[in-house]
Amino acid sequence: MLLNDRSSSVDLRPVRYQFAIVRGDSYDDNWLVIDGTVMTPEGDWSFADACLLTDEARQVSAWLRAVAAGTVDVTEPDAEGELSPDLSFIEPVLAFSLANRIAGGTAVIRVHLSLEAAPPWQQGEGRADIYQYIVEVRLDAAALLRAADQWDRSLAFLPPR
């Protein structure tokens, strides 16, 4: 799923289960490894991490479709300036929120990247707080729907086990 505009891009792909062999544990059997490639004016990086369960992964395309439909509210920082995502998961590696709506149906979405998905300069000591490193991408409704469709196609090969 490619989320991109003129200045930034986030390409996310579920590539495999964390554990190839089904162990009979509905939790461990359903962790997905997500490959990500990020390009921003600050720099480029990539990551691979088992950060989404199969059920959580299916929420991503539903959220993108809801943003395209205009049913997701813009999320503002709290009184301390901290951002909270609209869509987050058990592992706080990847999350999403809506930053703004622009005339003409364009949405500015935030992709929150923490821990293993954060840029190299944000990892280790002095790293950004959870959910606070973001990449903003401007997308019209058609691009949001294309991204949701791409995500669903990639998940078709990784059903819940």
Phi then psi for 59, rounded to 5 degrees?
Answer: -75, -25
Q: What is the pLDDT of residue 14?
A: 98
Output the DSSP codes for 124-157: STTPPPTTT-EEEEEE-HHHHHHHHHHHHHHHTT
pLDDT for 115 beyond 90: yes
* Rounded percentage of the chain residues whose pLDDT exceeds 70: 97
CATH class of the domain defined by 2-155 = mainly beta
Contacts of 120 (CB under 8 A, 6+ apart): 43, 45
Q: Return the percent helix, strand and coil in the chain, to nearest 5.
A: 25, 35, 40
> What are the structural domain ranges in the chain?
2-155
CA distance linking residue 115 with residue 122, whole number of Å: 8
What pLDDT sits at residue 127? 61
Q: Is the pLDDT of residue 94 over 90?
A: yes
Q: How far apart are CA 57 and CA 129, in angstroms?
A: 23
Residues 6+ apart with CB under 8 A from 71: none
